[in-house]
Structures are given as structure tokens and as C-alpha cells.
Amino acid sequence: MIIDTHAHINDEKLIDYFDDIKKSLNTKLKLIICPSYSLDTMKSSFLLSQEISEVYSALAIHPNNADEWNEETCNFILENYRNKKVVALGEYGLDYHYEGFNKLLQEKVFLEQLELAKKCKLPSVFHVRDAFDDFISLLSQNLSQFSGGVVHCFDGDISVAKRLLNMGLMLSFTGLVTFNKKEYLHDVIKYVPIDRIMLETDAPYLAPKKYRGKICLPQYVEEVYNEVAEIKNIKREVLDETIENNIKKFFTKLVI
């Protein structure tokens, strides 16, 4: 059995598939980490983690929702981070992809959550899109506030990967690695030491090639494992065990 470290199973697009997802737990998937991106999704991710033993929660405000960062959202994290099922702050970071983003606000919200993660003694799940230079410079200026992190859905090149690895980050790969137009990620995966890799779906988005055009389900993470095993030229069993160890070491509150 394998693990999906990043699936938005609280997303409304997955409501109709929820029975399927539940069935995959304990057959295909050992566990799922459900990140959040808003106050509502923090609440639903937390709730799911309380209801389903194989679901864990990460709490944060996404850079695209930076204007939702306020006392109420911060307090939700402060009130719940000690819960045994809350294993990280995430997903938060920088996202310059869509026009009209507020760079200064994103920076502020990023740095405040970075500091909060340190205070909570939890690792961070970072979302970084079209913003690697600023992310790297902000993090390197604030390393004293850094309590460990993974850049989820990594889509950069080898030089970016190198800079992130040098700062002690883990890199997490999605179904993007199965896309023909993302061949460069194969070189990145060859380059990144296997003990610095995690795998995820980012469901309901980014269905692997085999399920192209469909809603992505967490159990499809198997396609990502298959692809990475092939790229790294190792057996699936070896990959599965290594990735599980990486996850255990990183998310120290997980019970596997």
C-alpha cells in the first residue's frame, strides 16, 4: 500500500467519488494527507481527519486566498494544531500565476505562516507557482523561522531543485511527471536524491496520463509511483518503502 501526501478530498468535485476514495483506503492507500487553502477547507480537512482514521490534516491559507489571512484563520490553526491528526501547516506559499495577485500581501501571509509553523513545531507544505526566485530569497532570509518543508507539486528545473534541496527542502511530485510535455521533470527526478522525494496527486487536479480528462482521485497516485520507479530504475517495492520512510521522517506526527 502507498500514500498520497496531498489530496484535496474535501473538494466538492470529489463528493460523488467519496465512497470510491474510502474503499481505496486500506486496500490501495495507507493514508491520505488533506491540505487546506481557506478557512472553509481548513474546517473540512480537520473534520475529515477526525472522522476517518487514515486521513490526516494540514492547515493553512493558500497564497491565492491571501486576503483570508486574519485573526480568525490564524486562531483556527492555533486552536487545532495540537490535535494528533494535524501533521503540518499547508498549503501556503507564493503564487504569481494569475494576473492581479498582490505580491506584498502574499509575502506577508507567507512569512506569518512560516513563523506560525515554527511556533507549532510543525513542518510546512509549500505551494510555489511561478515564484521560485522570491520564495527562495524570502525563505533564505528567514531560515531561523523555518521548521522544515516540502515544495508540493514541484514543476521547476534542476537548478531550482538544487537551490531548494540546499535549503533542506523535500520535493513532492504529482501526475505531472506522467505528461509528455513535462519530460524535463524526468531529469529532475533523476537528479533529486531518493530520500528527498515525496509523491502525491493534488486531487482533484492533475490526473495522471492514464486517466487524462478525468477527475483525479487519490488512488491514482499509483501512476506517479510507477513513473518514478521507472525513471529512477528501481523496483516498486523499494520505491514504496523509501517514500514511506521519507514521509514518516518528515511528518513526525503521522502514525503509519
Q: Would you tell me which residues interact with Zn ion (CB under 5 A)? A: 91, 127, 202
Pick the closer one to Zn ion by CB: 12 or 236.
Answer: 12
Is residue 107 exposed (0-12), middle (13-18) or buried (19+ Cβ within 10 Å)? middle
Least Cα distance to 124 among 115, 133, 132 occurs for 115
| Closest CB 7 distance from Zn ion, rounded Å | 8
Q: In what order do the strands lie in the sheet containing 197-199?
A: 2-4, 29-34, 55-59, 86-95, 124-129, 149-151, 170-173, 197-199
For 154, other C-beta atoms within 10 Å of its C-beta total 27
| Closest CB 109 distance from Zn ion, rounded Å | 15
| Closest CB 241 distance from Zn ion, rounded Å | 25
| Closest CB 176 distance from Zn ion, rounded Å | 12
Residue nearest to Zn ion (CB): 127
Helices (H), 121-220: 132-141, 158-166, 184-191
Sheet strands (E) in 186-238 = 197-199
Three-state DSSP class for 232?
Answer: helix
| Closest CB 156 distance from Zn ion, rounded Å | 14
In DSSP notation, 74-111 reads HHHHHHHTTSTTEEEEEEEEEE--STT--HHHHHHHHH
Pick the closer one to Zn ion by CB: 90 or 148.
Answer: 90
Pick the closer one to Zn ion by CB: 91 or 155.
Answer: 91
Pick the closer one to Zn ion by CB: 58 or 230.
Answer: 58
Kindly state the DSSP code that residue 200 receives in the 8-state scheme: -
Backbone angles phi, psi at 121, to 5 degrees: 55, 45
| Closest CB 14 distance from Zn ion, rounded Å | 13
Pick the closer one to Zn ion by CB: 91 or 227.
Answer: 91
Pick the closer one to Zn ion by CB: 155 or 202.
Answer: 202
* Sequence-distant (≥ 6) Cβ neighbours of residue 241 within 8 angstroms: none
